[in-house]
């Protein structure tokens, strides 16, 4: 339970060089005291220091989604800790209690609260019961007369209280309760409230330490120079071309290029730009946006594609239908464009490789670095900093590998690699570009009679593909769409593209939600029905989509005529265990679409922190609006065209809609919050654009159509 030697070592050594002390409470860059001893003490998620300080050991990183505060609330409430004294650390090495259902410690899938809620409550309840038992023995009173609150076990009748710290030595010798008794709902007074985020003070004073801020004694800085065409390798490199430039220490070959190491990052950057380096020709050197799109479009007509989902007789029903609505949809590649670019600091010494990283992918880094650099898992230690955004990009290991190789080349000096904004934008791990062909029919009453969806494009989740060619990274949002469609089919014609891809916030549903909700509007139009009424008619009576749709519509006064010049679109998408409906209001300034207001309703089960649910949904809407209006990644000569926020434009405050958020609690299980606000937005906006212009927007962004 005490602070361990390794933690002390870190604080005495490396942290002394941190120029900005971490504010309390904040994310510590230290590690939890020891590997969890679940057999002896339920301390995977909680440590009680000898001075009484309660430390939450959290399995997911803090990249803005607020999970650290939410998880700490769950733990502190169940334990009865003093909220003001809560500390947070993350483990330096992954282990089972911190792993997600698929067996990895990663901060993905909007899992932070919904997956860890129950195990955290159980652990905290076990610890509380053991502390209570120890107090009962010490005070000579029945344990049922004791309460755990504010970091103490209290006996109200005799007005006595014992701090947790004093009970730890006795409590830890007690058996761990196999069936911990959770606090009743009436005692859950912290979750469900808007306590201030733990990280806000540090983040408003410039004190929060992100990966790019890490400072270690004798640290050098590195900037990469990488092949612009993704599959190219280094053909020739002349180290002498830059080695005499000011501050340059070394030029280190790395996969796909080199990193230049120098005394300062600016010197490294200048030299990386000046480096005389050539790359191999590849078969993709002529690839551009049009050829890539044409290659994927071939998949729309392909025969012999395995059926992923089929019910009823969709093809027969469509053949017999009087009218079949058919539409092809497309989305481009997207960059994550985290405001903190890709960066990692490494120190590689004999038998120990240490990283300082803002990472979403602890196990992924571990696995990839073992595979590519031969680093045994038990020799890799990851100090997790705050992340300046993640969005699915920061699971990867390439920056870590560069920093490790550079540190090795410098004999174990710590090296911080920073990718420039241009590197960050150009060197891939994009959201995939995908296309789809929808066909559907409705009957005279407006009921959907049949629908087929052919998806064409890369199979980003090839490694996790399930039976019947079911790739969750490509098809979620389609195979689980909420409407009652008696005759329905989904398949996926896989078209590989030579571009490195990565999960992008909401993954498949970031585009399938847009497609499905646009096509549903097309069917509503064909049925001559109001888009909301059409959805309600075609949703099962027990669908979770109904309450959120009805709430969002109510917030937007959907059933009243829109004011002059305001046009509305509606959309509902379920993802990551939650259901979100949105109504977007669009006004037109000439041909230019503006989105002044969005109304959103979310059912995420119980809201652990309603204020954070609200801000996540607001942020998701604004995040999704960027690629709806203008942002996309395209290729020219085999390389990405875009390079910075100037040509990858995201939403600024002057274009940000006012987003009203309602939380609808239906008694559903806990759902995710970080991602589910993204999928409905593009469909809601494009449906409003149809209301405004009569134009169906079947590919994004709107700027491609002269509308933004």
Binding site for another protein (CB under 8 A): 19-20, 63-66, 194, 196-197, 199-210, 212-213, 215, 221, 246, 264-267, 337-341, 386-391, 418, 420-422, 611, 615-616, 618-623, 644-646, 650-654, 656, 658-659
> Do 46 and 57 form a contact (C-beta atoms < 8 A)?
yes
Q: Cα–Cα distance between 329 and 663 in angstroms, integer?
A: 31
Exposed/middle/buried for 285, CB within 10 Å: 0-12, 13-18, 19+? middle
> Do 468 and 308 form a contact (C-beta atoms < 8 A)?
yes
Q: Which is nearer to another protein, 585 or 623 (CB)?
A: 623
DSSP code at position 322: S
Q: Which is nearer to another protein, 202 or 691 (CB)?
A: 202
Q: Which is nearer to another protein, 282 or 644 (CB)?
A: 644
429: alpha, beta or left? (left if phi > 0; alpha if psi -120 to 50): left
Q: Which is nearer to another protein, 69 or 469 (CB)?
A: 69
Task: Supply 184's token pair.
Answer: 């009743």
Strands (E), 58-139: 87-89
Q: Which is nearer to another protein, 644 or 693 (CB)?
A: 644
The distance of closest approach from Cβ of residue 420 to another protein in the complex, given in angstroms and rounded to an integer, is 6
Q: Cα–Cα distance between 53 and 46 in angstroms, integer?
A: 10
> Do 460 and 359 form a contact (C-beta atoms < 8 A)?
no
Q: Cα–Cα distance between 47 and 62 in angstroms, integer?
A: 19
Dihedral sign computed on CA atoms, order 307, 310, 313, 314? negative
Dihedral sign computed on CA atoms, order 199, 204, 210, 216? negative
Q: Which is nearer to another protein, 24 or 160 (CB)?
A: 24
Residue 541 main-chain phi, psi, to 5 deg: -65, -25
Q: Cα–Cα distance between 469 and 366 in angstroms, integer?
A: 28
Q: How far is CA 251 from CA 153, 224, 296, 405, in A?
A: 59, 10, 39, 11
DSSP code at position 3: P
Task: Supply 236's token pair.
Answer: 């020739």
Q: Cα–Cα distance between 305 and 532 in angstroms, integer?
A: 34
> Do 141 and 109 form a contact (C-beta atoms < 8 A)?
no
Residue among 63, 26, 617 nearest 389 (CA) = 63
Q: Which is nearer to another protein, 562 or 656 (CB)?
A: 656
Dihedral sign computed on CA atoms, order 631, 635, 641, 642? positive
Q: Which is nearer to another protein, 284 or 505 (CB)?
A: 505
The distance of closest approach from Cβ of residue 156 to another protein in the complex, given in angstroms and rounded to an integer, is 34
Q: Which is nearer to another protein, 120 or 622 (CB)?
A: 622
The distance of closest approach from Cβ of residue 338 to another protein in the complex, given in angstroms and rounded to an integer, is 6
Q: Which is nearer to another protein, 387 or 499 (CB)?
A: 387
Q: Cα–Cα distance between 99 and 484 in angstroms, integer?
A: 35
Q: How far is CA 621 from CA 41, 581, 616, 680, 700, in A?
A: 43, 11, 9, 8, 16
Q: Which is nearer to another protein, 221 or 488 (CB)?
A: 221
DSSP code at position 431: B
Q: Which is nearer to another protein, 388 or 482 (CB)?
A: 388
Q: How many CB atoms lie within 10 A of CB 263?
A: 14
Q: Which is nearer to another protein, 111 or 164 (CB)?
A: 111
The distance of closest approach from Cβ of residue 194 to another protein in the complex, given in angstroms and rounded to an integer, is 8
Q: Cα–Cα distance between 125 and 179 in angstroms, integer?
A: 9
For residue 572, the Cα-to-chain-centroid distance in whole angstroms is 20
Q: Which is nearer to another protein, 221 or 279 (CB)?
A: 221
**What value does the CA radius of gyration of the chain take, rounded to a whole number of Å?**
27
Q: Cα–Cα distance between 536 and 551 in angstroms, integer?
A: 12
The distance of closest approach from Cβ of residue 116 to another protein in the complex, given in angstroms and rounded to an integer, is 19
For residue 96, the Cα-to-chain-centroid distance in whole angstroms is 21
> Do 75 and 89 form a contact (C-beta atoms < 8 A)?
no
Q: Cα–Cα distance between 566 and 563 in angstroms, integer?
A: 6
Q: Which is nearer to another protein, 379 or 422 (CB)?
A: 422
């Amino acid at each position: 339970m005490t602070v361990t030697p390794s933690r002390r070592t870190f604080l005495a050594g490396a942290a002394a060089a941190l120029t900005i002390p971490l504010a309390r409470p904040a994310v510590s860059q230290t590690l939890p005291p020891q590997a969890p001893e679940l057999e002896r003490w339920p301390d995977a998620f909680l440590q009680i220091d000898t001075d009484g300080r309660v430390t939450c050991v959290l399995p997911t990183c803090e990249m803005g989604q607020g999970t650290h505060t939410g998880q700490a609330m769950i733990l502190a409430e169940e334990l009865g800790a003093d909220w003001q004294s809560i500390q947070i650390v993350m483990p330096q090495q992954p282990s089972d209690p911190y792993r997600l259902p698929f067996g990895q410690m990663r901060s993905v899938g909007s899992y932070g609260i919904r997956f860890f809620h129950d195990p955290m409550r159980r652990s905290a309840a076990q610890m509380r019961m053991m502390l209570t038992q120890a107090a009962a023995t010490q005070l000579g009173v029945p344990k049922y007369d004791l309460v755990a609150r504010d970091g103490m076990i209290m006996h109200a009748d005799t007005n006595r209280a014992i701090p947790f710290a004093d009970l730890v030595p006795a409590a830890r010798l007690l058996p761990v309760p196999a069936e911990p008794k959770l606090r009743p709902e009436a005692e859950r007074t912290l979750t469900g409230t808007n306590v201030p985020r733990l990280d806000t003070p540090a983040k408003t004073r410039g004190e929060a330490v992100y990966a790019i801020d890490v400072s270690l004694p004798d640290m050098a800085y590195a900037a990469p120079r990488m092949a612009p065409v993704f599959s190219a390798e280094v053909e020739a490199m002349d180290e002498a071309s830059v080695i005499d430039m000011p501050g340059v220490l070394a030029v280190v070959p790395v996969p796909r290029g080199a990193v230049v190491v120098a005394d300062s990052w600016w010197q490294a950057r200048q030299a990386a730009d000046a480096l005389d380096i050539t790359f191999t020709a590849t078969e993709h050197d002529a690839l551009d946006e049009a050829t890539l799109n044409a290659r994927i479009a071939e998949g729309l007509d392909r025969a012999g594609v395995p059926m992923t989902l089929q019910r009823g007789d969709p093809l027969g029903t469509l053949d017999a239908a009087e009218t079949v609505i058919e539409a092809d949809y497309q989305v481009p590649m997207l960059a994550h464009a985290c405001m903190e670019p890709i960066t990692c600091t490494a120190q590689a010494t004999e038998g120990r490789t240490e990283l300082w990283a803002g990472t979403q992918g602890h196990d992924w880094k571990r696995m990839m670095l073992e595979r590519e650099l031969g680093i045994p898992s038990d020799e890799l230690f990851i100090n997790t900093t705050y992340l300046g955004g993640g969005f699915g990009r920061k699971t990867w290991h390439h920056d870590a590998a560069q920093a490790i190789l550079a540190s090795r080349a410098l004999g174990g000096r710590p090296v911080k690699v920073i990718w420039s904004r241009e590197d960050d934008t150009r060197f891939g791990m994009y959201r995939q570009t995908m296309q789809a062909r929808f066909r559907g029919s409705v009957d005279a009453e407006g009921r959907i009679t049949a629908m087929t969806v052919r998806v064409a494009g890369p199979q980003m989740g090839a490694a996790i593909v399930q039976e019947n060619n079911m790739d969750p990274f490509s098809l979620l949002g389609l195979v689980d769409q909420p409407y009652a469609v008696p005759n329905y089919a989904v398949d996926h014609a896989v078209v590989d593209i030579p571009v490195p891809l990565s999960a992008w916030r909401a993954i498949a549903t970031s585009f399938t939600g847009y497609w499905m909700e646009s096509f549903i509007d097309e069917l509503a139009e064909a049925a001559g029905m109001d888009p909301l009424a059409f959805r309600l008619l075609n949703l099962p009576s027990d669908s979770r989509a109904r309450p959120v749709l009805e709430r969002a519509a109510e917030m937007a006064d959907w059933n009243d005529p829109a004011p002059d010049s305001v046009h509305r679109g509606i959309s509902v998408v379920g993802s990551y265990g939650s259901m979100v409906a949105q109504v977007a209001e669009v006004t037109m300034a000439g041909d230019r679409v503006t989105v002044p207001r969005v109304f959103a309703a979310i059912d995420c089960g119980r809201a652990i922190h309603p204020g954070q649910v609200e801000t996540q949904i607001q942020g998701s809407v604004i995040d999704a609006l960027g690629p709806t209006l203008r942002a996309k990644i395209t290729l020219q000569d085999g390389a990405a065209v875009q390079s910075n926020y100037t040509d990858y434009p995201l939403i600024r405050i002057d274009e940000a809609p006012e987003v009203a958020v309602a939380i609808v609690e239906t008694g559903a299980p806990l759902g995710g919050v970080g991602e589910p606000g993204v999928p409905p937005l593009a469909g809601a906006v494009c449906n409003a654009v149809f209301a405004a212009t009569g134009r169906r927007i079947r590919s994004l962004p709107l700027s491609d159509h002269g509308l933004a």
